[in-house]
Amino acid sequence: MTKLEAVIQPSKLDAVKEALINIGIDGLTVMEVRGHGRQKGHTEFYRGREYSVDLLPKIKLEVVLRDERVDDVVKAILSAAQTGKIGDGKIFLSKIDEAIRIRNEERGIDAL
The mean of the pLDDT values for the chain is 92
pLDDT, residue 41, reads 63
Question: Which of the four pLDDT bands, split at 50, 70 and 90, describes residue 26?
Answer: confident
Where in the sequence is the domain holding 10, given as residue range(s)? 2-111
pLDDT, residue 5, reads 98
Mind listing the pLDDT tens digit for each residue in 29-84? 999 999 887 766 666 677 777 767 778 899 999 999 999 999 999 999 999 999 99
The CATH number of whichever domain residue 104 belongs to comes to 3.30.70.120
Alpha carbon of 61 to those of 5, 41, 48, 102: distances in Å? 6, 21, 36, 21
pTM of the model: 0.85
Q: Identify which has the larger pLDDT, 14 or 56.
A: 14
Percent of the chain scoring above 90 in pLDDT: 76
Q: How many domains does the chain have?
A: 1
Within the chain, where are the H helices?
13-22, 70-81
Within 10 Å of residue 73's Cβ, how many Cβ atoms?
23
pLDDT, residue 37, reads 79
- Find the mean pLDDT for residues 83-104: 95
